[in-house]
Homo-oligomer: A and B are copies of this chain.
Amino acid sequence: MKVIFLGSGNLATRLSLEMHRKGMTIGQVYSYTPENARQLAGRLGCLWTTDLEAIETDADLYVFSLKDTVLANVITRIRPNDGLWVHTAGSMPMDIFSGHTANYGVLYPMQTFSKMREVDFSVIPFFIEANTSESASKLQQLAEKLSGNVRFLSSDKRKNLHLAAVFACNFTNHIYALAVKLLEQQDIPADVLLPLIDETVAKIHTMPPRVAQTGPAIRYDENVINKHLAMLGDSDMRSIYRLISQSIHKEARHE
């Protein structure tokens, strides 16, 4: 199986390296930025290009792993071919390929990727869909080589899943960044937070987060909440504190 990657970002990097490791042939990497294309192709030991016209037409699989804003445009500029075209975006519909090629689908690995950090693909949930049952079966076989956790999901449900993932990953990570900032202002080493963060996550492996909730906001302890608001110099952090505390309390009242 010959695979061509369009994109060289965090997801493209980790996914192409994993496919390579699993014995699939990565034939070519395209990126708008030559330095990025060269770098990823170097790690894969394959060809690279910055020219959409130069993308080879004999591959079995084309993986579009591009920013949502450029995906539609790039799709219109690929020369026709018989390969299966898939994108890896959580929030883009499969139909974006419609009219541009015969066989297409989506291969969405729900994970946070960084170029330099290895991840265990075997546990990553992959969400797939395809426009024909033949493509679906091909894509399923491919995804199951990468992960033990593969399921079909419609574009509509996938975009909701992606929204949930933004909360569960991007937002919580930013909240960690804000907590670290508070500690840095006090010259307290950031790593004292790790046991608390680990246990917060370990808990939700055994009970729903709703049940695991602790802290001053559940009982809306205005004494503590107001002291905290007064301590927050940054007005954005104050708004975030107020809004999330109100939301915690609202959910608690629904119990």
Cβ–Cβ contact A243 & B248, under 8 A: no
The docked-state distance in angstroms from the alpha carbon of A214 to that of B113 is 8
Chain B residue numbers with a CB within 8 Å of A224 are 68, 91
Cβ–Cβ contact B114 & A192, under 8 A: no
Chain B residue numbers with a CB within 8 Å of A68 are 216, 221, 223-224
Copies in the complex: 2
A106 at the interface (CB under 8 A from B): no
A46 at the interface (CB under 8 A from B): no
With A196-B169, A227-B159 known as contacts, the answer to whether A206 contacts B246 (CB < 8 A) is no
A239 at the interface (CB under 8 A from B): yes
The docked-state distance in angstroms from the alpha carbon of A172 to that of B215 is 12
Cβ–Cβ contact A177 & B209, under 8 A: yes
Cβ–Cβ contact A166 & B112, under 8 A: no
Cβ–Cβ contact A161 & B174, under 8 A: no
- Chain A window 157-170, contacts with chain B (Cβ cutoff 8 Å), 1 for yes, 0 for no: 10111011111111
A192 to B, closest residue via Cβ: B125
Chain B residue numbers with a CB within 8 Å of A73 are none
A203 at the interface (CB under 8 A from B): yes
Cβ–Cβ contact A213 & B170, under 8 A: yes
Chain B residue numbers with a CB within 8 Å of A206 are 117
Chain B residue numbers with a CB within 8 Å of A1 are none
The docked-state distance in angstroms from the alpha carbon of A101 to that of B215 is 28
Q: Which of B113, B164, B227, B239 contacts A243 (CB 8 A)?
A: B239
Chain B residue numbers with a CB within 8 Å of A232 are 163
Q: Which of B125, B177, B193, B209 contacts A176 (CB 8 A)?
A: B209
* A–B pairs, 9, beta carbons within 8 Å: A110-B195, A111-B199, A160-B185, A164-B188, A167-B176, A168-B196, A178-B247, A180-B208, A197-B201
A residues neighboring B (CB under 8 Å): 10, 67-69, 91, 110-114, 117, 119, 123-125, 149, 153, 157, 159-161, 163-180, 182-183, 185-186, 188, 190, 192-201, 203-210, 212-217, 219, 221, 223-224, 227-228, 231-232, 236-237, 239-241, 243-244, 246-248, 250-251
